[in-house]
Amino acid sequence: MGEFVRLEVADGVGTIRLDRPKMNALDVQMQEEIRAAAAEATDRDDVKAVVVYGGERVFAAGADVKEMNAMSYTDMVKRSGGLQSAFTAVARIPKPVVAAVTGYALGGGCELALCADLRFAADNAVLGQPEILLGIIPGAGGTQRLTRLVGPSTAKDLIFTGRFVQADEALAIGLVDKIFPAESVYEEALAWCRQFAGAATYAVRAAKESIDRGLEVDLDTGLEIERQQFAALFATEDRAIGMGSFVESGPGKAQFTGR
């Protein structure tokens, strides 16, 4: 458990909780603690899905600008890879991940939310990539993940201008997936994740990897990724349970083991 980031587990759901007052500024220590929490969530069999949450007031207002301001070019050459890979560790969790976004999710905070499979936003959420206003660009995946999510024109508008996006606009452009009252967004994220407590673990993993890896390649290669993942699931216990249950009792009644 880190000083500012911890993994809390209950009822099959792991919460990666950001807790660095006042605004969850994402300094190097937090980045590495996020990496560690993602690795723990990946490794633990009792974690079937993950919520990334910054608390009731703020998701994460961005990188620690004071820390970055003291860095030279050579400092950032050495650090930028670690910054990206810490966030990618969240994106590569082989389980469903939802970001529960309250308050500000700006810069690195928005980039962290982009690493989730879904984004549930509070009605008071404010998102954006304002790095251009600091004379830089997003460096933790924003130019890539945002573009893949909302399209190049919208991503360019947000990144070129650095403007903030309120929750309703974020929903309209596809930056977030659902909006809830601020006091219930975390519980809604937990509820979404709990549905995977009894899911076929390796099938969910295969679906996520097929979609994510397929987005990185051409269609024919993506289809080959899907084919391999599909065939591999015939080696799992859950595939036998699921099909056997369907034949005997109809759909939706299988009791999976996660193996």
**pLDDT, tens digit, for every residue of 209-246?**
999 999 999 999 999 999 999 999 999 999 999 999 99
Determine which one of 62, 86, 111, 254 is catalytic.
Answer: 111
191 contacts: CB under 8 Å, gap ≥ 6: none
Instruction: Say what percent of the chain tops pLDDT 70.
Output: 100
pLDDT band at 1 (very low <50, low <70, confident <90, very high): confident
Residue with tokens 């003291």: 70
CATH T-level assignment (fold) for domain 201-249: Lyase 2-enoyl-coa Hydratase; Chain  A, domain 2 (1.10.12)
63 noted as active-site residue: yes
Quickly list H helices, the chain: 28-43, 65-69, 73-91, 108-114, 147-150, 152-161, 167-173, 185-194, 201-214, 219-232, 237-249
Residue ranges of the chain that CATH labels 1.10.12.10 = 201-249
> Known catalytic residue: 111?
yes
Please give the average per-residue pLDDT across 113-130, as a whole number.
98
Query: In which band, very low, low, confident or very high, does the pLDDT at 68 lie, cut at 50, 70 and 90?
Result: very high
Which pLDDT value is given to residue 229?
98
| Backbone angles phi and psi of 150, in degrees to 5 | -110, -5
Does the pTM exceed 0.85? yes
- Active-site pick, 37, 63, 105, 167: 63
What mean pLDDT, rounded, does the chain reach?
96
Report the C-alpha gap between 18 and 102 in whole angstroms.
12
Task: Find the mean pLDDT for residues 73-79.
Answer: 95
Q: Provide the pLDDT for residue 53.
A: 98
- Tell me, what's the pLDDT at 99? 98
Residues forming CATH 3.90.226.10 domain(s) in the chain: 5-194
Q: What is the mean pLDDT of residues 115-130?
A: 98
Q: What's the CA gap between 104 and 106, in Å, rounded?
A: 6
Sign of CA dihedral 45, 51, 52, 58: negative
Q: Burial code of 59-96, b = ≥16 C-beta within 10 A, e = fewer?
A: bbbbbbeeebeeeeeeeeeebeeebbebbebbbbbebb
Q: Which CATH architecture has domain 5-194?
A: Alpha-Beta Complex (3.90)
Q: Which of 62, 108, 139, 242 is catalytic?
A: 108
User: Left if phi > 0, otherwise alpha if psi is -120 to 50, otherwise beta: which for 99?
Assistant: beta
- Residue 92 CB partners (closer than 8 Å, separation 6+): 38, 42
Of 37, 49, 116, 131, the active-site residue reads 131
Note if 109 is an active site residue: no
Annotation says 183 is catalytic: no
pLDDT tens for 158-208 read 999 999 999 999 999 999 999 999 999 999 999 999 999 999 999 999 999
